[in-house]
Amino acid sequence: MASTTAAPKSNRDGLAALDEALQAGAATLQRLEEQGEQLHQTEIVADSNKYLLDRSAREIRGMTWGGWLQNQFTSGPAVPKPPPAPLRPEVAPQSRHQPPIPSGGTVEQDQYVADLSQQLDDVLACGKQLNAVIDHQNAQSSRLSSKTESLWESTRRTTRAAGRVAAAGLFGASDEPKLLGHVALQCPVTKRYLRSRGTDVGLSPDLELRATCRWALYEVRPHVLSLMNSVSDKYIGMTFGGGIACNSSSFGSWQQLDMDLRQRKGDVVETPISLLAADWGGGCYVECDRDGLLRLGEQVGNPEARDRARRWRVEFLDDAYEVPTFADQVLTLKPDALERVRGAVPAVLEEAAATAYGAAARAPAWEE
């Protein structure tokens, strides 16, 4: 049987542990309130930036005759409404002092039970507030993530439009594409690679680095890229009828495209591809079906459409080449790249590459 002196100490320890838990919960609520305020202010800034970008896009569009005419029949962007206010919890739950209910025990025991019940109610109330605040901030984070992606898309479109207007001006600088590297593009659904045969663009089941599946990736302006086939030296782009072809010997507005290279990890990145000439310069995503046919998909600018767009696997090949200038530069493979190419290149090409590398290794070195 427990002693009468031990019982009050154990009671005090239990109440102290609950009080400590309640104080920790109150401190967490305080930090969550500060975090909620920061999320709220960030959401306001995101809405304001999106509004300013939309106004800038309208002004840039009005610098052309067609855009000016379109502005006459369309309204400007609406001023954003303020986002929902952050949930402000009660940091310190109000205690409700209730007299102990007699239970047939001692007065100390009845008081302990009453104090324990009160603190348990306070801890439960604090836990409910924590759940409510976390749920509210999860919704804030989801909205903010969506707005950030929308802001990123708007920034890209506005930057492209401004560059297009600047390049078309009387004293605009001509486009000088910068080579980013040589790439192979694979559709993950069909496991086929983008290829060009003549002017026709389609998908090939094999990766032909020396033939039709190797593309030179150029950056023309910020968020404006181009793909040129390494065999035909033709740019891929959109035709007047809305198709996709590789038939242009020079780079123009019909050959502009964009890919999101932010998530590049090593030599591979998965990204949608958009042809910017579609949708009157707004751009549309490139889709492919299981038969390997390419077509234009949804319009660029909507984050939800971007999430639904086909992802293309872009593999950068230049780390395997010394000077990737011509289509047959496979002859200068580095030793450490042969194993990586072995899994991707057909056996006949692998055998030719290995033979050529052996011959190159036996050749005398160039003198500086």
How many other β-carbons are positioned within 10 Å of the β-carbon of residue 87? 18
| Residue boundaries of the structural domains of the chain | 10-168, 178-319
How many other β-carbons are positioned within 10 Å of the β-carbon of residue 42? 16
Comparing C-alpha atoms, which of 192, 183, 213 is closest to residue 314?
A: 183
What is the arithmetic mean of pLDDT over 279-304? 84
- Mapped onto helix, strand or coil, the DSSP state of residue 91 is coil
What is the arithmetic mean of pLDDT over 77-88? 83
Q: 């198709």: which residue's tokens?
A: 243
| pLDDT at res. 363 | 44
- Kindly indicate the confidence band of residue 98, based on its pLDDT and cuts at 50, 70 and 90: low
| pLDDT at res. 356 | 41
For 39-49, the pLDDT digits (tens) are 989 999 999 98
For 182-203, the pLDDT digits (tens) are 899 999 888 899 999 888 898 9
What average pLDDT is seen over the chain?
A: 76
What is the arithmetic mean of pLDDT over 65-84? 86
| pLDDT at res. 273 | 94
Report the alpha-carbon distance of residue 155 to residue 48 in Å, rounded. 13
Report the alpha-carbon distance of residue 225 to residue 250 in Å, rounded. 13
Largest CA distance in the chain: 104
312 has a pLDDT exceeding 90: yes
| pLDDT at res. 364 | 43
What is the per-residue DSSP string for 309-365? SPPEEEEE-GGG-SSTTSTTGGGG--HHHHHHHHTTS-HHHHHHHHHHHHHHHHSPP
For 15-52, the pLDDT digits (tens) are 788 888 888 888 888 888 888 889 989 999 999 988 98
Comparing C-alpha atoms, which of 49, 57, 52, 48 is closest to residue 159?
A: 57
Angle between helices 6-61 and 65-72 (to 10 degrees): 120
Question: Which DSSP category does 77 fall into?
Answer: P
**pTM metric for this prediction:** 0.64
Looking at per-residue pLDDT, the higher value among 362 and 124 belongs to 124
What is the arithmetic mean of pLDDT over 125-136? 88
Q: Are 203 and 190 in contact (CB under 8 A)?
A: yes
| pLDDT at res. 127 | 85
With vertex at residue 34, the alpha carbon angle to CA 28 and CA 38, rounded to the nearest 5 degrees, is 140
222 has a pLDDT exceeding 70: yes
| pLDDT at res. 179 | 87
User: Which CATH topology does 178-319 take?
Assistant: Trefoil (Acidic Fibroblast Growth Factor, subunit A) (2.80.10)
- Kindly indicate the confidence band of residue 171, based on its pLDDT and cuts at 50, 70 and 90: low
**Range scoring the smallest mean pLDDT among 85-94, 146-155, 227-236:** 85-94
Tokens of 97: 């002092």
Comparing C-alpha atoms, which of 255, 69, 312, 48 is closest to residue 154?
A: 48
Q: Which helix (H) or strand (E) holds 203?
A: strand 200-204
What is the arithmetic mean of pLDDT over 79-88? 82
What is the arithmetic mean of pLDDT over 65-70? 83
Angle between helices 6-61 and 107-168 (to 10 degrees): 20
Query: What pairing do the DSSP bridges indicate for beta strands 294-299 and 284-288?
Result: antiparallel
- Kindly indicate the confidence band of residue 303, based on its pLDDT and cuts at 50, 70 and 90: confident
Distance of CA 282 to the CA centre of its chain: 19
- Kindly indicate the confidence band of residue 322, based on its pLDDT and cuts at 50, 70 and 90: very low
